[in-house]
Each structure stands twice: as C-alpha cells, then as structure tokens.
Amino acid sequence: MEHIDECKQGDAIGARVESVTLIDVARVAGVAPMTVSRALHRPELVRSATQKKVLDAVRATGYVPNMLAGALASSKSSLVAVLLPTIASSVFADTVQALMDGLTAARYQTLLGLTGYSPQREEELVEAILGRRPDGVVLAGTDHTNATVERLTRAKIPVVEIWDLTDTPIDIVIGFSHEKLGEELARHLIKKGYRRFSVLSVDDPRALRRANSFIHELQRHDIDNVRFVIRHAPATLQVGREGASAILEGGAPEIVVCSSDTLAQGVLAQAASRGLKVPQDLAVMGFGDLSTAAHVYPALSTVRVDGAAIGACTAQALLERFSRDNQGKNYPVRLDTGFAIIDRDSA
C-alpha cells in the first residue's frame, strides 16, 4: 500500500508540470521570443553570446522546439527520410554514416525506416513518412511498387535511390550495376582457373540479380552445372554456415561465391569445422568488403563497393536540390560509383 501511495504521489506531481514555451525560454534568457526563434532555427543571424544565453535557457527550462510549427511556416521540415532493408547487416553502415554526416553539417535531421526487403512495407512507410513533410527521401534500391513511385512523384520532393542503377529513376539514382558486377566477377574467376562453382545468396532482390547475372555469364563460357542455394534475408553467419552445409552435401565445389561478406565468413567457419582448407579445398568469395573481411583467416576475397562515396554523393545531391540558388540543376540524374574486385587469400 505504501508503494502504491508513492506512485500516486508521483503521478500527481507529474500532472502539475506544464509545457515549457518559447516565451518561457525568452524570459529566462532575457531576450525577445523572436531572438530565441532565430537562435534555434537561424543561428547564423544571432551573435554567439546571445545564442549561448538562449541555449543555456533551453537546457535550464527543458524546452523542446516545435519543429513541425517551423516547417509549416517555412514549407521546410529540415528532415530527410532514409529507407533501408535492414540494419542487421553492416553493409549499409558506411553509406548511412556519410549521408548523415553530410546532412547534419547542413543542419538536416534524418529519419530511418526499415523495409525488411518488402516493397509493400516500403510503400506503407513512404505513405506514413510523407505525412511528416520530409524535404527529401532516400530509398535503398530501385524495386518499388507502382503506388510508391506514383506517391513520391506526386510529392514533388527530391528522391534519391541508392545502391543500384536504373535507366528510369524516380528522380536521382546513385550506385552501381549489380548485373555488370555479376558479369565481371564471373569473368574474373574464370580467368583465375575456376570451373566448378556454387553460389550462396539471400533473397534480397539486388543480391539475386547479381547472382543470376553471375550464373548467366558462367553459362556463356559453357559452365552450366552451378549449385545455387538461396536463404532468407538478412545475411548472418549462421545463415552462411547453413548454406555452406547445403552446398557441401552435394560434394565440394572449387569455389563458393556469396552475396555478402557475412555469408562468406559463415562459409569459412563451416569449412574450418569440416577440416577443409581454404582456398586449397574450397575457395570463398564475398561481397561488400566489410571492415572484417581483410582480417579473418584466411583474408576474404571480395568485391568492394564504396558505400561512403554513395552516402556522401547522396547528401550532396539532396543539398543541391534543397538549394534555392540552382535547384540542383547541375547534379547528374544517374551516378555510377562503380566497384572493385579484391583478391585476397580465400580465392
């Protein structure tokens, strides 16, 4: 009973707390309300000493600026929505970091949404996010529902599709060709002397496009008997080990080509558990060149994609579009950031 009384007392105290207003902050700082607004939203217009007074008053009062009200008044929210399939894999980490760094430096905030590799989920998120009046939207990939494309087109805000290329972007597309990557990787490995291939991929549409392009290029070189194992996304070490087991049940190929470094490291672990030497008994190829790829044993051969460049270019594209001076007219609609095949010890 005593504990319940204390809880009730706490509720009563909380009920007496009133919302702090901009006027309250102005009173504590000893400045006009307009000065507070400028210090928070246009600090370059306010002297540093005045801005410090305002920020001290904000901290002292616990004031939370109403960003939505400012957005309605200026038709800008200073918010960019970023939709990714997952954060379970670190493959997007460099892209997101560079994107956020570029936007934050320009005083824009980011809102992150996860689609779970589902175009339908992406459609739902786009609908919800547009209600928050973002200044721009970033989408991972170019596979969308017709409703998503139509909704974003009608919104008339900058849209950047990343980690992919298409000849028909919604607005701007920054990334690389998954089909070209698959073809070049196949030719590269054939040139190294490999003939018996297996492919391990998650069911991410972009990963599958790379894998199918890789297999088709092998077929062009009369290599037809390719074991193709697909597992549900996201890619994890466990999924890599399970996929490797499925492949090895049919006899060890010369090389396993994986849709991500994470899967490839799982294959390395499974090979070690079976006493297989890499690359002598089984070669392994990854994708993504994660920070761990060069430091596993043996060092992982992979394909490097410049995720940081994709993020930085995306921030630049958005900021140029946001600029009232040129409306982004000088920024290309389609930017190919390319890729590089990295030979290390595993293949």
Is 346 part of any domain? no
Residues 184, 288, single domain; the answer is: yes
Residues 170, 275, single domain; the answer is: no
Is 108 part of any domain? yes
Is 131 part of any domain? yes
* pLDDT value of residue 324: 61
Phi, psi at 285, each rounded to 5°: -125, 135
CATH of the domain at 332: 3.40.50.2300
Each residue's pLDDT, cut to its tens digit, for the chain (347 residues) gives: 333 333 333 333 233 335 788 899 999 999 998 998 888 877 878 898 998 999 899 888 878 766 555 554 555 778 999 999 988 767 889 999 999 999 999 999 999 999 999 999 999 999 999 888 899 999 999 999 999 999 999 888 999 999 999 999 999 999 999 999 999 999 999 999 999 999 999 999 999 999 999 999 999 999 999 999 999 988 999 999 999 999 999 888 999 999 999 999 999 999 999 999 999 999 999 999 999 999 999 999 999 999 999 999 999 999 999 886 455 456 678 999 999 999 999 99
* pLDDT value of residue 327: 54
Q: How far apart are CA 139 and CA 146, in angstroms?
A: 14
CATH of the domain at 28: 1.10.260.40
pTM: 0.76
159's tokens: 């849209």
Residues 119, 228, single domain; the answer is: no
Q: How far apart are CA 326 and CA 338, in angstroms?
A: 27
**Domain ends where: 65, 89, 109?**
65
Q: How far apart are CA 318 and CA 316, in angstroms?
A: 5
Residues 155, 102, single domain; the answer is: yes
* pLDDT value of residue 40: 82
* pLDDT value of residue 7: 37
Domain that holds residue 229: 178-304
Residues 158, 255, single domain; the answer is: no
Q: What is the dihedral of CA 26, 30, 32, 36, to 10 degrees?
A: -50
Tally of domains in the chain: 3
**Domain ends where: 65, 93, 117?**
65
Residues 182, 172, single domain; the answer is: no
For residues 265 and 284, the answer to whether their CB atoms sit within 8 Å is no
* pLDDT value of residue 61: 84
